[in-house]
Amino acid sequence: MSGFAPDIALSALFQRNATSRPDECALIDAGVRYTYAEAANAVAHLAGQIAALGLAPRSSVALLLPNGSELVLSLLAVMQCGHIPVPMPVAWRKSDLVRACREAEAAALITTANFSGERLPELAAEAAIEVFELSFPCAFGSDLPDGILPLVLSGEAGGATIVTPSPGIATLQASPGGVSFVLHQDEQLLAAGLGAMLAADMRNGDTIVSAVAPSNLAGLGAAFVPWLLCGGTLSLLSDIPKRMDASNERCHVIASAQLLETICAALDVPSASAVGVHFDGTSRADTVADIPAERIVDVFALAEICVIAMPREDRAQPRRIPLGAVQAGNGTAAPIVLETSISEKGRVLVRGAMIAKDALGDGGWCDTGYTAVSNGSSDFRVSTPDEIVAIGALRFSFPDLERRILAAALVAGVEVMADPVLGDRLVVRSERPAETERALLDAGLPRVIASSVRKAENVRAAG
């Protein structure tokens, strides 16, 4: 197959944009705007503080940050220092964070005190006590607990010296044992981002409004990398907005597929494209009633292995994924970023520039674990593995999650149900729901799990 082999680093793309358009808006976060010059200065200043920690070359740095400018600037600063950023969902609690930091062998962790009522610095301090390798817990903001090193984004640039280039960005994938570490090199991330950018017809200087954080491959490929490629404005959403002003610019909205229509409705002007990210396969229809089909792009996230971006032809249904070559966009001359096949067991196999080399097996193919739903034609849909629960943008191994819930509290049962907003919905049945919810939180389980506790007889009656 003809491949996609870029020869440029993500950090170099950002520096190119900062040099060519220093006065243009780079980032918008809760109304705060950074020009490219201001963003470049913040990255350099933060990189200097990270370099001063004296980490070993190519160390892993965990990023426990919400979808905002601190996360984007930290990603760039850690790469500028030659280390591996490992973004983690802020919905995780202590037990997930500890397991993830151990899996990533994180030497440092960056979090923030500037996030609603969440006590993320305290959580980071607790994790550092339990993870031997985690020597440098750091945070933005004030009134930090003892043991947390303060970080700031403003000031004179520190001038970090890169001894070795960054190997890429790592994400964490749900697995039966908890989470596994997946490293995405620059060429793999660029292949993912190019596919989404061309499918959505993103152009130089366009605005990208993203409700999907770059804490997984889907968020990196659908928003973060296209922003670097286009050199426009990245506007970050940490909540569903009531109203957004797109300033009459070409604007692309990125959201989980179930929330896409809601977020697009908050725009004052029609978006140039509406990109819906599917974290739970394509087995169910996804109608987007008020958005023309030609503006809709579906991004199918197959674990942390690959993302497949497909422009929609029918407003009521995502396109089927082609067998064989998947091109970056619709044009016949577009580069091929992925190739698909189906195994004898009916599983989706992939190979190409987007796939981590150590994930490839027999014949150079990677088994995604997803099931191909095919009618014998030259294309297919995908179905999430039975053992994976996709709650919004968070994925969990259901057997592992069920074991942890049962170990933390006395419950009558744990079930998974389809949900039109979250994708999957977890229901934990208990005779004492308030006590069970507290017990799950005390055990370090995510709040999205603890909030799924229901009175046992109410669930039975509803069923």
Lowest model confidence (mean pLDDT) among 20-24, 162-166, 416-420, 421-425? 421-425
In terms of average pLDDT, the best of 338-342, 400-404, 410-414 is 338-342
pLDDT band at 337 (very low <50, low <70, confident <90, very high): confident
**Across the chain, what does the average pLDDT equal?**
85
Which has the higher per-residue pLDDT, 226 or 290?
Answer: 226
The answer on pLDDT for 7 being more than 60 is: yes
Which has the higher per-residue pLDDT, 89 or 5?
Answer: 89
Q: Range(s) for CATH 3.40.50.980 in the chain? A: 10-183
Say if domain 10-183 classifies as CATH 2.60.40.1220.
no
**Bridge partners of 151?**
140
Average pLDDT over residues 437-448: 82
Q: Range(s) for CATH 3.30.300.30 in the chain? A: 388-462
C-alpha 66/C-alpha 64 separation (Å) is 7
- In sequence order, what DSSP letters do the residues of 101-158 get, joined into one string? HHHHTEEEEEEES-STT--HHHHHHHHHHH-TT--EEEEESSSPPTTPEEE-S-SS--
Predicted pLDDT at 461 = 41
Q: Range(s) for CATH 3.40.50.12780 in the chain? A: 185-383
Contact criterion met (CB below 8 Å) for 276 and 256: yes
Query: Residue 369 in 3-state DSSP?
Result: strand
Query: Residue 451 in 3-state DSSP?
Result: coil
Predicted pLDDT at 85 = 97
The answer on pLDDT for 161 being more than 60 is: no
Predicted pLDDT at 463 = 41
Predicted pLDDT at 1 = 37
pLDDT digits (tens, 9 = 90+) for 227-265: 999 999 999 987 766 666 655 578 999 998 888 888 888
Sign of the torsion angle spanned by Cα atoms 383, 386, 392, 395: negative
The answer on pLDDT for 460 being more than 50 is: no
362-363-367 Cα angle (round to 5): 55
Predicted pLDDT at 457 = 61
Percent of the chain with pLDDT over 90: 45
Predicted pLDDT at 2 = 43
Say if domain 388-462 classifies as CATH 3.40.1190.20.
no
Average pLDDT over residues 369-375: 86
Of 207, 259, 268, which Cα lies nearest the Cα of 238? 259
**Domain 185-383: CATH superfamily, name plus number:** ANL, N-terminal domain (3.40.50.12780)
* Rounded-to-10 torsion of CA 266, 225, 174, 383: 70
The answer on pLDDT for 383 being more than 90 is: no
Contact criterion met (CB below 8 Å) for 309 and 277: no
pLDDT band at 37 (very low <50, low <70, confident <90, very high): very high
Whole-structure pTM value: 0.89
Predicted pLDDT at 247 = 58
Which has the higher per-residue pLDDT, 174 or 223?
Answer: 223
The pair phi, psi for residue 293, each rounded to 5°, is -60, -35
Strands 394-397 and 388-391: antiparallel
C-alpha distances in angstroms, 86 versus 167, 215, 229, 411, 426?
12, 8, 21, 34, 27
Predicted pLDDT at 363 = 76
Contact criterion met (CB below 8 Å) for 47 and 161: no
pLDDT digits (tens, 9 = 90+) for 202-211: 999 999 999 9
Average pLDDT over residues 38-58: 94
The answer on pLDDT for 225 being more than 50 is: yes
pLDDT digits (tens, 9 = 90+) for 281-336: 775 556 676 788 889 999 999 989 999 999 988 888 888 899 998 887 766 677 78
Residue 275 C-alpha from the chain's centroid: 14
pLDDT band at 458 (very low <50, low <70, confident <90, very high): low
User: What residue type is 243 in one-letter code?
Assistant: R
